[in-house]
Amino acid sequence: MDTGSSPSLFPLHRCKTIHLVDNLRKHVHESGLSKRIELVITSPLLRALQTAVGVFGGEGYTDRMDILPLMVANAGYSERPSISSLNCPPIIAIELCREHLGVHPCDNRRSISDYQFLFPAVDFSLIESDEDILWKANVRELKEEVAARGLKFLNWLSTRKEKEIAIVTHGGFLFHTLSALLNDCDPLEKKEMCKHFTNCELRSMVIVDRSMTGSDSSTTNYPGKIPDGLDLPSDVASENLEKEKSNLV
């Protein structure tokens, strides 16, 4: 039987909801999405960092010794006020979800030490090199390499314990990653999910951990066995009951 267009079921704890975003604070807050996001992952390019803190950061920052700002005032000559880290999800920067590497100066990041000054409450601990050693002035990353990096990113994402994650990244990276990931899926699904992103666009998707990479167990499954035994279909249960009666005779 052809099941290509049939619905599929997967264990809930093996799935993650991801929201691929670019610049839409008002929508994220009015829709209630901001209250559900457990983690924000961002590319370490300046424009992505500014978007991440602008969309998911708190309201205007006031100086407090116990709370760091997500972004200092006028970061990257943005002429924007500082942004608070109060009551917002953690934000982590990671190299794997950067834009297409090489040649174009706009895709070359600044040093992490610079970023730590501009974005004090953003977590840069997963980035190993202070300077940008991935971007090459005369070598452009192949599309296949971008896709491979994207799949590596999604595999890493599957190991995270958070179930609802916002990813602030770039159109080229997303296009090549999704095109490779969805190469064998239904054509209509691929058309919907793989089209180029527009500015300020958000798409919500679910990652299914078919490889069982994630190690967490379900928080909602219940073992049952009250009363003890399997919950058999009625015809099987009736048949078993008749057998038990006949054995008692």
Number of domains in the chain: 1
What is the DSSP secondary structure assignment for residue 219, as one 8-state letter? S
Residue 151: CATH number of its domain: 3.40.50
Kindly state whether residue 5 falls inside one of the protein's structural domains: no
Kindly state whether residue 215 falls inside one of the protein's structural domains: no
Q: What pTM was estimated for this model as a whole? A: 0.73
Q: Which residue has the tokens 């390499």?
A: 145
Q: How confident is the model at residue 46 (pLDDT cuts 50, 70, 90)?
A: very high
> Helix crossing, 171-181 with 143-158: angle to 10°?
80
Report the range of poorest mean pLDDT among 47-51, 83-87, 88-92, 127-131: 83-87
Kindly state whether residue 189 falls inside one of the protein's structural domains: yes
Q: Which two tokens stand for residue 88?
A: 């917002």
Identify the sign of the CA torsion 58, 59, 64, 69. Answer: positive
With pLDDT > 90 as the criterion, what percentage of the chain qualifies?
Answer: 31
Kindly state whether residue 248 falls inside one of the protein's structural domains: no
Q: Decide: residue 122, CB within 10 A, 0-12 exposed, 13-18 middle, 19+ buried.
A: buried
C-alpha atoms less than 13 angstroms from C-alpha of 120 in its C-beta half-sphere: 15
Kindly state whether residue 120 falls inside one of the protein's structural domains: yes
Kindly state whether residue 211 falls inside one of the protein's structural domains: no
Give the tens place of pLDDT for each residue, 145-172: 999 999 899 889 888 888 888 889 888 8
Say what the pLDDT of residue 188 is: 74
Kindly state whether residue 103 falls inside one of the protein's structural domains: yes
Give the tens place of pLDDT for each residue, 6-41: 455 556 666 677 776 575 777 888 888 888 889 999
Domain that holds residue 75: 28-194
